[in-house]
Amino acid sequence: MTKKTVLSAVAVAGLAAAALLAFVAGRSAYAGALGISLDPPTAENEVGTDHTVTATVGGVGPGWQVTFAVISGPNTDAPFTCSVNTDCTTDGSLEVSGTYTGDGGEGQDTIEACIAPLLNIVPQQQPPCATATKDWVQPTPTPTPTPSPTPSPTPTQAAPAAQLPQTGAPPPAGSDFPWSLVAIVALSALAAGAAGVVMRRRAL
């Protein structure tokens, strides 16, 4: 190995060490400024629907990964789907959303989102986290409409049948039977009979 090669190797190692020190110093400098928040902080959904929380990270640039988890409640350890970046890294607005399905029944979930460290350079420092709660309720049953009662048809009353007067009885009041005509016919018959008798007697 020549002297020039050794000097080059030393220079490269020095630059690597300087870069590492600068990274550590920079990581330590902004570590305290790291922050994360969740929106909405509280919410209520019906059981069986999806719920989405959005994490906003502060103190760093885009591309930092966020982990989502339900740490307590009926949906503990439910899997999350991230968007806009499916790898759960923050976008240009330093945001990333996580969605899960609340199919574990009624109750309250506690959701936790944490910034995942890029390198485990400062192992004694816990990454910043934020929590939110989610209340799950049963859907409100849709009331069954009560049908309107069908009115009963009004029975039709038949007109009373006309009754003929009894023989020898006076005609009922208001009757339309032509009794006067009957009387005239009867009298005519009697008169004719009487006339016939008189004519026969004369003939004798």
Assigned domain for 73 exists: yes
Q: Looking at residue 79, which CATH number applies to its domain?
A: 2.60.40.10
Cβ within 8 Å of residue 76, ≥6 positions away: 70, 104, 109
Total count of domains within the chain: 1
- Chain centroid to Cα 106, Å, comes to 16
Percent of the chain scored above 90 by pLDDT? 44
pLDDT-derived band at 24, boundaries 50, 70, 90: very low
The span from the CA of 69 to the CA of 42, in Å, is 15
Taking only the tens place, the pLDDT of each residue in 77-125 is 999 999 999 999 999 999 999 999 999 999 999 999 999 876 554 455 6
Assigned domain for 40 exists: yes
DSSP state for residue 71 in the 8-state scheme: E
Other Cβ atoms within 10 Å of 67 Cβ, number: 16
pLDDT at 153: 75
What tokens were used for 81? 């789907």
Assigned domain for 192 exists: no
Q: Which of 91-95, 140-144, 182-186 bottoms out in mean pLDDT, i.e. has the lowest?
A: 182-186
Assigned domain for 52 exists: yes
Assigned domain for 96 exists: yes
Assigned domain for 156 exists: no
The span from the CA of 11 to the CA of 4, in Å, is 11
Other Cβ atoms within 10 Å of 88 Cβ, number: 20
Domain that holds residue 70: 31-118+126-137
Of residues 32 and 109, more confidently modeled:
109
Question: CA separation (Å) from 123 to 97, 111, 197?
Answer: 26, 24, 155
Assigned domain for 46 exists: yes
Taking only the tens place, the pLDDT of each residue in 154-164 is 777 766 665 65
Taking only the tens place, the pLDDT of each residue in 34-80 is 899 999 999 999 999 999 999 999 988 899 999 999 999 999 999 99
DSSP state for residue 120 in the 8-state scheme: -
Give the residues across from 52 on adjacent strands: 99
Q: Which of 41-45, 85-89, 148-152, 168-172 bottoms out in mean pLDDT, i.e. has the lowest?
A: 168-172
